[in-house]
Amino acid sequence: MSENNIENEQENVIIDKNGKEIRPKKLGFFKKVWYSIAKFEKYIEMSLEGTGRALKYLLQIESIFVLIIACIGLYNSNQNLNVFIKNIEDNVPDFRYKEGEIALIYEEENEVYTIEDKNLNFGKIIIDLNTADQNVISEYENTIKNDDETRNIGIIVLKDKVIQVAKLEEGVQGESTISMTYDEIMQSLFGRTDLEVTKSNLLEYLDGNGRTSILIVNFFSYFIAYFIIYICSGLIYILILALVGFISAKITKINLSFSQLFAMSTYAFTLSNILNIIYFVANYFAGITIKYFDVAYVTIAYIYLIAVMFLIKLDTLRKQENQVKEDKKEEKKEADGQEQI
């Protein structure tokens, strides 16, 4: 065994009150959750497993949280898709798409259809398959941009193209309208432009294979996006808490390395993360909001870390006191021995 391995092995050992060596054990995830919440005395033992296992624990607990968020997002997407399909059934006339153009099956001259969608964030949808007049199209664009109820966004559906409209905030650079022909859309979605689409087979697609595809994409989008967000924010919180703990340890003369404090800080956020999951679910389904929850989230973890450090300090003082007693006993024995001589 190399010297480095011996040194690392010696560092990951603590001595209990009876002088017995305690070496880190490979604890399971759920046992760590329990120890992190209810067993302060186990923090030293868990910290000796190293930062690698602490990071693995963070990934596990955040994955559970993000999985719950993704499932809620999946449920929400499914509900919104149902509303969107119902809107098409009730408000969109029978149409046929062929050779890059949409036409009504039962054409009504100068008929304009409007749908307001607040669920899938399409905004106001204006359908006019008869006009090519730029002045009329400009009026539609202004109508969408001035509609605060649909967040000033929307779509204009014309005979040969779709125009996406969004009102830009003052000072924001970019285009307020994006235009795409149906050939471009079909090419990007299906890799071909010779498809024929009707209202009936569109609804059939959205309620069948299309629904599955949309929900799968939404689920993974939710999971990946929130996973990155919560892992990054979690690491920042942990690093800040570990730094505060490191400074506190230096002031109070507690012998803890930064890597140990990083691991302890990771476990100290366990209860905060569980409460965060509960709060997210309660907020979504019941609309419950708690003022300064973010402050409480960090404060709880800080209290846990301080409590652990306080126990370590007490244990250190107890060991020092025992050592003083032992030294006095030795001195007394030596003194008694000299008197006998």
**Together in a domain, 287 and 324:** yes
**Interval 51-107: pLDDT, tens:** 999 999 999 999 999 999 999 999 998 998 898 888 888 878 888 888 888 888 776
**Together in a domain, 146 and 230:** no
Q: What residues contact residue 184 under an 8 Å CB cut-off, 6+ apart?
A: none
**Together in a domain, 279 and 321:** yes
Q: Residue 231 domain-assigned?
A: yes
- The pLDDT score that the predictor gives to residue 11 is 45
What CA–CA distance (Å, rounded) separates 268 from 305? 6
131-151 as b/e, with b when 16 or more CB fall inside 10 Å?
Answer: beeeeebeebbeebbebeebe
**3-class DSSP state for residue 262?**
helix
pLDDT above 80 (res 257): yes
Q: Residue 9 domain-assigned?
A: yes
Which domain-ending residue is among 158, 193, 228?
193
Q: Which helix (H) or strand (E) holds 243?
A: helix 209-252
**Together in a domain, 126 and 178:** yes
Q: What are phi and psi of 207, to 5 degrees?
A: -95, 5
pLDDT above 70 (res 200): yes
**Together in a domain, 66 and 104:** no
The predicted model gives 4-27 an average pLDDT of 51
Mean pLDDT for the chain overall: 83
For residue 339, give both structure tokens: 């008197």
Q: Residue 40 domain-assigned?
A: yes
**Together in a domain, 55 and 110:** no
Which domain-ending residue is among 193, 210, 226?
193
**Together in a domain, 136 and 233:** no
**What is the extent of the structural domain holding 243?**
3-70+218-329
- The pLDDT score that the predictor gives to residue 313 is 84
**Together in a domain, 174 and 262:** no
**Together in a domain, 188 and 227:** no
Q: Please check whether residue 160 is in contact with residue 131, taking contact to mean a CB–CB distance below 8 angstroms.
A: no
- The pLDDT score that the predictor gives to residue 45 is 87
For residue 170, give both structure tokens: 């003052």
Q: To the nearest whole percent, how much of the chain has pLDDT over 90?
A: 39
Q: Residue 336 domain-assigned?
A: no
Q: Residue 79 domain-assigned?
A: no
**Interval 98-147: pLDDT, tens:** 888 888 877 655 678 888 776 667 788 898 888 888 999 999 999 998 88
Q: What are the strands, taking DSSP E only, across 51-192?
A: 95-98, 101-104, 113-117, 123-127, 153-157, 161-166, 177-181
**Together in a domain, 151 and 108:** yes
Tell me how far CA of residue 3 lies from CA of 6, 8, 10, in angstroms. Answer: 5, 9, 11
Q: Residue 75 domain-assigned?
A: no
**Interval 221-243: pLDDT, tens:** 999 999 999 999 999 999 999 99
pLDDT above 60 (res 324): no
Burial class of residue 215 in the structure, from the number of CB atoms within 10 Å of its CB (0-12 exposed, 13-18 middle, 19+ buried): middle
- The pLDDT score that the predictor gives to residue 26 is 75
**Together in a domain, 135 and 223:** no
pTM over 0.85: no
Q: Residue 179 domain-assigned?
A: yes
What CA–CA distance (Å, rounded) separates 296 from 314? 27
**Together in a domain, 66 and 106:** no
Q: Residue 150 domain-assigned?
A: yes
- The pLDDT score that the predictor gives to residue 263 is 94
What CA–CA distance (Å, rounded) separates 126 from 159? 12
**3-class DSSP state for residue 14?**
strand
Which domain-ending residue is among 129, 159, 193?
193
Q: Which helix (H) or strand (E) holds 198?
A: strand 197-198
* Domain count along the chain: 2
pLDDT above 60 (res 5): no
